[in-house]
Structure 1
Amino acid sequence: MKKTLKELLDERALKFGEAETLADESDKRELTAEERTLFTTRTSEVLVLDEVIASKRQIESFQLGRAAYVGSGEEGNRDTSKGDQRDLAGYNLNKALLAKLDNRALDGIEAEVQQMAEARAKEDGIKLTGNGIVVLDEVLQKRGQTVTLQTTNPGDQGGVLVEKKLQGVLEVLQANTFLDEVGARFMTGLTGDLVFPVQETMPIIQELTEIEAMNDSEILFSSFEMKPARRGTTVPISRQLLIQSSIDMQNFTINAIGEALAQKMNAEAISNLLTIITLANGNLLALGLNGAAPTYNDIVALEALVDGYNHKRGTPKYLTNTKVKAKLKTTQKFTGTNGDPVYNDDNELNGYKAVISNIVPSNLTKGTATNVASAIVYGNFSDFMVGMWGGTEYIIDPFAKKKSAQIEITANAFWNMKAARVKSFSGIKDALTA
């Protein structure tokens, strides 16, 4: 009888489990002759099944290659028949990482998710390393559970003990960037290279008599491209943590990786923003040949630079570091008075929210002020676009930190960022705080 891929994977898991149990038992005692024979038989059967499964997957790959969304039911498995639709909510990242660490082939839901992610990467023109596992972020976002068993009190049969949401790595990444706080425009789940139109001029509103002819008012557009680029970071994780089966431990792994990637995105974003304001057509406000302490007048001047190009749309914000914050909290708006400080208790500068991140450098150089100057950026951050493609690729290195009983996981995500309008931002790179 012809077996489905699910049946083959289930059979492999069963046989592998028997062999694994015998291997664990051999650490405690000598196996009997019957047990040694059974172990040899089961491992041989697993190898045969691996070949059959690989062949089966190759045959079915054209179906998985069209998968654009992962989840459960028709939407999540749109390329499978109703009779063969599978719930992917049981995916476990730690289990997949552990299999890769032990040089075992992925099976079950973890194998299916891998194929779907590889197919998506191919669609997006993303080149994977070929020796890691790949997870579409939608899988983890839909991994959350809700337990409804109860008697008279909601959740009294365990529901209150189950975490109701498991975030994906990209979701954790976004939440841990200053970009999310300043209101940058995140675009997730992108496919392929994109070209965005940008309106550069506003139509001229004309006041006319009842029969006066209207002059043409041309609206000018520009465009910019975004394509996926690989970004990676490496985090140490203990093998002991990976073998834990609870959602909490899977969350721990996801958060560790997501936060590490977030730091990389933060650093890249601030570098991008400082480049924008330094360009020949940028809005850089110089405080002095050797830098100077920022004042209220400088803050207002930053706003005027953006206002002059009619780019103060949405809700502009300020971005700087704790040193500038401390300096401006003790700097009066107008000298010689006991007036309000430039930076108020509502975390505002001249009525606009200020976001504080020490990713914003405080070690810039201007003239004789060496490695002590800080940056301040002002702008309409909704014009700063962050595109995110596909999922996250994980590559395991069991050797680099073997002496400390840890493994290293290198996580590759695919994103790019660009300002839609350079003139939507202004900034200072020589603010002195000491």
Structure 2
Amino acid sequence: MATTETKPYFRFLSIEDEEIKDDILTMSVSSEYPVKRGFGEEILEHTPEAIDLKRFNDNAPILWSHNVSEQVGVILRAYLVDKKLKVDMRFGNSAKAKEIEADVRQKIIRNVSIGYAVHEMEERDGQFYATRWEPLEASFVSVASDPNVGVQRSQPQIQNTIPTKQMDSSNTQAISTINNGWDEYTREADQFSLVNAIKAQASGDWSQAGREREVGQELARKYGTRTATGILVPNHSWSKRTFVASSASAGGNLIQTDVLSDQFVDALRPYSAVMEAGATMITGLQGNVSIPKRATSSTAEWFGADDADSISESVGTFGTVSMVPKSIGVYSKFSRLMQLQSTPDIENLIRQDFLELIGTGIDAAAIAGTGSSSQPTGILSASGTTVLALATNGSAASLDNLLTLKKNVGAANVIDDGTMAYLTNSKVESAISQLKDGNSAYHLNPYTAPLGEQKFAGKRMLISNNCPSNLTKGSGSNLSAIIFGKFSDLLIGQWSGIEIETDIYSDFAKGTVGVRAITTIDIAVRHGASFSIIKDAIAA
């Protein structure tokens, strides 16, 4: 089975069979000892047919700890001896090089590592054999753990690679040593290109999208998802693309995958009023989920210090909020997509298009989802909310009505955690903003904040036209909804990343590529009492 790799790997060994003559050090740098990777045990075949030694025999660098800015020597010759890769090397003249040379001669530094790229791989009896691979550089390192060969590996670097078909060897990235496989995945996912993934899907040629295919397959393994033709996109790849990868010294190794899912939420937030308000996003779900909620509370009592009093028993009751996977999909078309280059501007343009569609879809369902026809249940259909009815056939909302919504939530002892806000559509916003007193003075100053950023009674008023203006009641029609509540009690669960799939056939004659994006989510209101709503406001 062939594989696609777009990044270097490492194997770390202890210097045991070195030979120093004059200023030339001869040592083994790799062997066929199996190393555990995310996909299984990897074995590098050490045959002339398997190893491409062009780089190593062209004055390849010897580094310190894979730091490309700290070259301490040069490889003079690379060759195979008894299934091991050996090199003759000479130390440099820099202070660092002299320091490393002295430590090697005194056997203080005992470990060496190579960075390499795999071009082809085969699976045999559960092990993965690199049948065509290329060493890129060698480094002296500090830690080793494998005593079985002459030049032994350090603690394995779990790279979580996925076997695929070909490799784009021009995309190898800067080398660093990492002990956590998901950290390596994170670095690769940071450079995930939507354009490359879509172009590869449309053409069937993944030679320029090895990273994207590998990351997508890693996500499929993580989520237990198997997709025949689509590819999963990592959540944090939806953030604005700058093409700058964080180094380990800048904190790149400290970011965990689960935390990076927040970047997807941040990217969606401008397109979703409920997320902007503070809805709780729960990612990485598997199967059906039940989330606990407190139905009734216990009570606290004061008692004396003379042991004469006792605390009365009061039992709080708990319920659950169920979340079941539901799929949301969006479809967009791009002309001349196959000619596009993967530049930051193009990447961000396509990301913005999908984020706007997905964010709008989530927003509409979170506000007005009916709970039927495969829709989630939104706030307006949730049970336990307090509904303020204005009139038999609807009525214009007053400032008093808005204050009543706020009072209803407060009367339910809902504590504001900073996410309490009003949410309505632009029609209601305009009508409320134009209310005047008997002297024709505005009750609210329409110039106190930019449109959509006003506050009322000290609470934010967010505007989304996903808040419906087509409701009916009695003989009234085109009625609007107004919501006040604690939006952190609105839960949005996500089961997997976003899967993208291409369609090159529907508009083949036009050269247009259709792209569908699908993700699996559900929406639930954890505490109905956290929301008070109006569903019959008249607003022109």
Normalised to the residue count of structure 2, the TM-score between the two structures is 0.58
The higher-RCO structure (CA 8 Å, 6+ apart) is 1
1:360 and 2:467 matched: yes
Q: Tell me which residue corresponds to 1:222.
A: 319
Structure having the higher helix fraction is 1
1:134 and 2:134 matched: no
- CA offset at residue 356 of structure 1? 0.8
Q: Tell me which residue corresponds to 2:520.
A: 414
CA-to-aligned-CA distance 1:241-297 (integer Å, 9 cap, x gap): 663131221222122111111111111111149854455643111111110111122
Q: Write the distance in 2 (CA, Å) between the matches of 1:3 and 1:368.
A: 68
- CA offset at residue 142 of structure 1? 10
Q: What is the identity, as a one-letter code, of the residue corresponding to 2:319?
A: S
SS at match of 2:435: coil
Task: Give 1:134-283 correspondences, 5 Å limit.
Answer: 134-138=232-236, 144-146=242-244, 171-211=266-306, 212-240=309-337, 243-272=340-369, 276-278=379-381, 281-283=384-386
From 425, 445, 461, the equivalent of 1:321 is: 425
Q: What is the identity, as a one-letter code, of the residue corresponding to 1:390?
A: S
- CA offset at residue 136 of structure 1? 2.0
- CA offset at residue 223 of structure 1? 1.7
Q: Write the distance in 2 (CA, Å) between the matches of 1:373 and 1:110.
A: 47
SS at match of 2:386: coil
Unmatched 5+ residue regions in structure 2? Answer: 9-48, 50-119, 129-157, 163-174, 247-261, 371-376
1:377 and 2:486 matched: no
1:409/1:279 Cα in 2 relative to 1: closer, same or farther (>3 Å)? Answer: closer
CA-to-aligned-CA distance 1:151-189 (integer Å, 9 cap, x gap): xxxxxxxxxxxxxxxx97664324321112211112234
SS at match of 1:373: strand
Q: Tell me which residue corresponds to 1:100.
A: 201
1:168/1:351 Cα in 2 relative to 1: closer, same or farther (>3 Å)? Answer: closer
1:366/1:248 Cα in 2 relative to 1: closer, same or farther (>3 Å)? Answer: same
Q: Tell me which residue corresponds to 2:212.
A: 110
SS at match of 1:390: coil
SS at match of 1:200: strand
Q: Write the distance in 2 (CA, Å) between the matches of 1:101 and 1:413.
A: 20
- CA offset at residue 298 of structure 1? 1.3
- CA offset at residue 419 of structure 1? 0.8
SS at match of 2:498: strand
- CA offset at residue 379 of structure 1? 0.5
CA-to-aligned-CA distance 1:280-318 (integer Å, 9 cap, x gap): 643111111110111122112212322232124323110
Q: Write the distance in 1 (CA, Å) between the matches of 2:227 and 2:517.
A: 11
Counting matched residue pairs gives 363
Q: Tell me which residue corresponds to 1:299.
A: 402
CA-to-aligned-CA distance 1:332-377 (integer Å, 9 cap, x gap): 4xx646676257635122222110111111121122222x211101
Q: Write the distance in 2 (CA, Å) between the matches of 1:258 and 1:268.
A: 15
State whether residues 323 and 493 of structure 2, in contact with CA within 8 Å, keep that contact through their aligned partners in structure 1. Answer: yes
Q: Tell me which residue corresponds to 1:331.
A: 435
State whether residues 170 and 258 of structure 1, in contact with CA within 8 Å, keep that contact through their aligned partners in structure 2. Answer: no
State whether residues 190 and 236 of structure 2, in contact with CA within 8 Å, keep that contact through their aligned partners in structure 1. Answer: no
Q: Tell me which residue corresponds to 1:91.
A: 192
Q: Write the distance in 1 (CA, Å) between the matches of 2:304 and 2:315.
A: 21
- CA offset at residue 4 of structure 1? 7.7
Q: What is the identity, as a one-letter code, of the residue corresponding to 1:349?
A: F
SS at match of 1:313: coil
SS at match of 2:346: helix
Q: Tell me which residue corresponds to 1:30.
A: none
1:194/1:85 Cα in 2 relative to 1: closer, same or farther (>3 Å)? Answer: closer
Q: CA RMSD in A?
A: 4.1
- CA offset at residue 191 of structure 1? 4.7
Q: Tell me which residue corresponds to 2:221.
A: 119
Q: Write the distance in 1 (CA, Å) between the matches of 2:480 and 2:125.
A: 55
Q: Tell me which residue corresponds to 2:389.
A: 286
State whether residues 283 and 425 of structure 1, in contact with CA within 8 Å, keep that contact through their aligned partners in structure 2. Answer: yes
- CA offset at residue 73 of structure 1? 5.5
Q: Tell me which residue corresponds to 1:27.
A: none
Q: Tell me which residue corresponds to 2:77.
A: none
State whether residues 72 and 88 of structure 1, in contact with CA within 8 Å, keep that contact through their aligned partners in structure 2. Answer: no
State whether residues 95 and 242 of structure 1, in contact with CA within 8 Å, keep that contact through their aligned partners in structure 2. Answer: no
Q: What is the identity, as a one-letter code, of the residue corresponding to 2:416?
A: R
Q: Name which of structure 1's ranges 318-327 and 297-306 shifts more when overlaid on structure 2.
A: 297-306
1:59/1:356 Cα in 2 relative to 1: closer, same or farther (>3 Å)? Answer: farther
- CA offset at residue 129 of structure 1? 4.5
Q: What is the identity, as a one-letter code, of the residue corresponding to 1:208?
A: F
Q: Write the distance in 2 (CA, Å) between the matches of 1:143 and 1:202.
A: 46
State whether residues 368 and 380 of structure 2, in contact with CA within 8 Å, keep that contact through their aligned partners in structure 1. Answer: no
SS at match of 1:261: helix
Q: What is the identity, as a one-letter code, of the residue corresponding to 2:443?
A: P
Q: Which has the larger radius of gyration?
A: 2
Q: What is the identity, as a one-letter code, of the residue corresponding to 1:384?
A: L
Q: Write the distance in 2 (CA, Å) between the matches of 1:58 and 1:363.
A: 60
SS at match of 2:469: coil
Give the share of equivalent positions with the same residue, in percent.
26
Q: Write the distance in 1 (CA, Å) between the matches of 2:124 and 2:188.
A: 20
1:305/1:289 Cα in 2 relative to 1: closer, same or farther (>3 Å)? Answer: same
- CA offset at residue 421 of structure 1? 0.6
Q: What is the identity, as a one-letter code, of the residue corresponding to 1:388?
A: Q
From 407, 423, 427, the equivalent of 2:529 is: 423
Q: Name which of structure 1's ranges 113-122 and 167-176 shifts more when overlaid on structure 2.
A: 167-176
State whether residues 235 and 497 of structure 2, in contact with CA within 8 Å, keep that contact through their aligned partners in structure 1. Answer: yes
Q: What is the identity, as a one-letter code, of the residue corresponding to 1:188?
A: T
Q: Write the distance in 1 (CA, Å) between the matches of 2:326 and 2:400.
A: 40
Q: Write the distance in 2 (CA, Å) between the matches of 1:284 and 1:57.
A: 64
Q: Write the distance in 1 (CA, Å) between the matches of 2:334 and 2:430.
A: 37
Q: Tell me which residue corresponds to 2:494.
A: 388
Structure having the higher strand fraction is 2
Q: Write the distance in 2 (CA, Å) between the matches of 1:134 and 1:365.
A: 40
